[in-house]
Amino acid sequence: RRLASQRIEVINDAKVEEVRPDAVVISDGRTIPTRTTIWAAGIEPPPLVGNLDLQKDHRGRILIDQYLRVKGRPGVYAVGDCTSIQYDGPPVPALAQAAEQEGKRAASNLAAEIENKVPVPFRYRSVGQLVDLGEGSALVDILGVNLSGLLGAYVWKAVYLYELGYDLNRAHVLADWTIDLFTRPDTSKLFEDPNQPRVRT
């Protein structure tokens, strides 16, 4: 509702077929007139991974098995965005929480391998999602609990600070947020500035 009030439309299940100077054509047949187009469609592995002589998927990510071992390379483990796991569990998104879970499991499996113990298969468990909407508003879905608006923004900030891990980083970010309150305008307020031209996405 909030996005709609800011004239933002989220289009699911559609691919961009063509980006023209004045329009974007999408696969459901629509042509959306545009003036500024911002492309934010994902990531690809870095050249280092591209140059590795390993089995990869169609997106160039390293294939790993359920124990996070690189396929065809005994004793080698890989985790994170540059990997593609082949297992019967839920899809593993390119998110920090997935990379962290994989890192812990890979470390314990590597230790198990060294100690001749049985490795444990990896299984991704989503602990939720947080979406910052700017202007003191966020969407929160943590362990099935959904929050939005200002309360969501507070939870978003609390989780963000917690996940930073180190007190020095937390202090930096807190200081940044405090300074931002009094100095830089929040760029996400662009949509509500009546003096700005109307923005269409």
Q: In the bound complex, what is the minimum distance in angstroms from residue 194's beta carbon to ligand FAD?
A: 30
| Residue of 52, 99, 110, 142 interacting with ligand FAD (CB under 6 A) | 99
- DSSP E strand stretches across the chain: 16-20, 23-26, 31-33, 62-64, 83-85, 128-134, 137-142, 145-147
Torsion of CA 89, 92, 96, 102, to 10 degrees: 50
36, with CB counted inside 10 A (0-12, 13-18, 19+), is exposed
Please give the Cα distance from 184 to 201 (Å, whole number): 24
Q: Which amino acid is at 87?
A: Y
Of the listed pieces 10-18, 66-74, 91-99, 165-173, which binds ligand FAD according to CB under 6 A? 91-99
Q: Which is nearer to ligand FAD, 46 or 165 (CB)?
A: 46
Q: In the bound complex, what is the minimum distance in angstroms from residue 69's beta carbon to ligand FAD?
A: 16
- Encoding tokens for residue 78? 């890989």
Of the listed pieces 20-28, 57-65, 95-103, 133-141, which binds ligand FAD according to CB under 6 A? 95-103
Is residue 164 a contact point for ligand FAD (CB under 6 A)? Answer: no
Please give the Cα distance from 43 to 46 (Å, whole number): 9
Is residue 50 a contact point for ligand FAD (CB under 6 A)? Answer: no
Q: In the bound complex, what is the minimum distance in angstroms from residue 185's beta carbon to ligand FAD?
A: 21
Is residue 143 a contact point for ligand FAD (CB under 6 A)? Answer: no
Is residue 48 a contact point for ligand FAD (CB under 6 A)? Answer: yes
Is residue 173 a contact point for ligand FAD (CB under 6 A)? Answer: no
Which one-letter DSSP state was computed for residue 119?
P
Other Cβ atoms closer than 10 A to 103: 14
Is residue 80 a contact point for ligand FAD (CB under 6 A)? Answer: yes
Q: Token pair 């019967």 is at which residue?
A: 88
* SS3 label, residue 73: coil
How many residues bind ligand FAD, per CB under 6 A?
9
Nearest-CB residue to ligand FAD? 80
Q: Could you tell me which of 121, 23, 111 has the C-alpha nearest to residue 64?
A: 121
Of the listed pieces 53-61, 64-72, 92-100, 185-193, which binds ligand FAD according to CB under 6 A? 92-100
Residues that bind ligand FAD (CB under 6 A): 46, 48, 80-81, 94-97, 99
